[in-house]
Amino acid sequence: MLAKRMSALNPYVPGEQPKDRPYIKLNANENPYPPAPEVAKAISEFVLSHPEKMALYPDPDSLSLHEEIAEMLNKTGGVLCRTVVTHEGAGGAISGNCQPSENDRIPFKVTPDMIYTGNGSDEVLSFVFYAFFDSDRPVVTPSFSYSFYPVYGGFYSIPLNKIDLKSDWSLDTEKMLEEANKTDSGTIFANPNAPTGIGLSREQVRQMLLKAPKDKAFVVDEAYVDFGGESCIPLLAEFKNLVIVRTFSKSLCGAGMRSGYLVANPELIQAVTTVKNSLNHFPMDAITQVAASAACKNAAYYAEKAKAVAEEREKFSAFLKAHGWNVLPSKTNFVFAEKQGVNGQEAYRKIKQDGILVRIFATPGIENYLRITIGTPEQMKALEKSMESL
Ligand SMILES: *Cc1c(COP(=O)(O)O)cnc(C)c1O
DSSP output for 57-90: ---TT-HHHHHHHHHHHHHHTT-S-EEE--SSSS
Q: What is the DSSP letter of 29?
A: -
Ligand 1 centre and the CA of 373: distance in Å?
14
**Is 249 touching ligand 1 by the criterion CB < 6 Å?**
yes
Q: What are the residue ranges in the chain where pLDDT is below 70? A: 83-92
**pLDDT tens across 269-282, in order?**
999 999 999 998 88
Single-letter residue type at 182 = K
Cα of 167 vs centre of ligand 1, distance in Å, is: 25
Half-sphere exposure (Cβ direction) of 327: Cα atoms closer than 13 Å: 22
Across 319-349, b (16+ Cβ under 10 Å) vs e yields bbeeeebebbbbbbbbbbbbbeebebeebbe
Phi/psi for 181 (5° steps) reads: -75, -35
Pocket flag, ligand 1, residue 221 (CB < 6 Å): yes
Query: What's the CA-to-centroid distance between 341 and ligand 1, angstroms?
Result: 31
Q: What tens digit of pLDDT does each residue of 197-214 get?
A: 999 999 999 999 999 999
Q: Please indicate whether residue 146, judged by its CB atom, sits closer than 6 Å to ligand 1.
A: yes
Residue from 189, 183, 190 nearest 135 by CA = 183
121 lines ligand 1 (CB under 6 A): yes
Question: Ligand 1 in contact with 77 (CB < 6 A)?
Answer: no
Atom of ligand 1 at shortest distance to CA of 28? 1
Which whole-number Å values give the CA distances from 182 to 51, 134, 178, 209, 211, in the listed order?
56, 16, 6, 15, 12
Give me the pLDDT at residue 92, please: 59
Q: Which of 289, 276, 297 lies closest to 59, judged by CA?
A: 289
Residue 48's pLDDT is 97
Which protein residue's CA is at the shortest distance from atom 1 of ligand 1? 223
Mean pLDDT of the chain: 94
Report the nearest-CA residue for atom 14 of ligand 1. 223
Region of residue 228 (left: phi > 0; alpha: psi -120 to 50; beta: else): left
- With beta carbons less than 8 A apart as the criterion, state whether 263 and 236 touch: yes
On whether the CB atoms of residues 335 and 316 are closer than 8 A, the answer is yes
Cα(258) to ligand 1 centroid in Å equals: 10
Cα separation, 184 vs 317, whole angstroms = 40
Question: Which atom from ligand 1 is nearest to the alpha carbon of 249?
Answer: 8
Centre of ligand 1 to C-alpha 226, Å, is 13
C-beta of 197 in contact with ligand 1 (< 6 A) = no
Q: Is the peptide bond before 195 cis (omega within 30 degrees of 0)?
A: yes
State how far the alpha carbon of 135 is from the alpha carbons of 5, 65, 158, 159, 203, in Å: 15, 33, 4, 6, 30
Q: In whole angstroms, what is the distance from residue 233 CA to residue 266 CA? A: 14
Predicted local distance difference test score (pLDDT) of residue 291: 98
DSSP track, 202-230: HHHHHHHHHHS-TTS-EEEE-TTGGGT--
Atom number, ligand 1, closest to the C-alpha of residue 250:
1
Q: Ligand 1 in contact with 194 (CB < 6 A)? A: yes
Q: Cis before residue 100, ω within 30 degrees of 0?
A: no
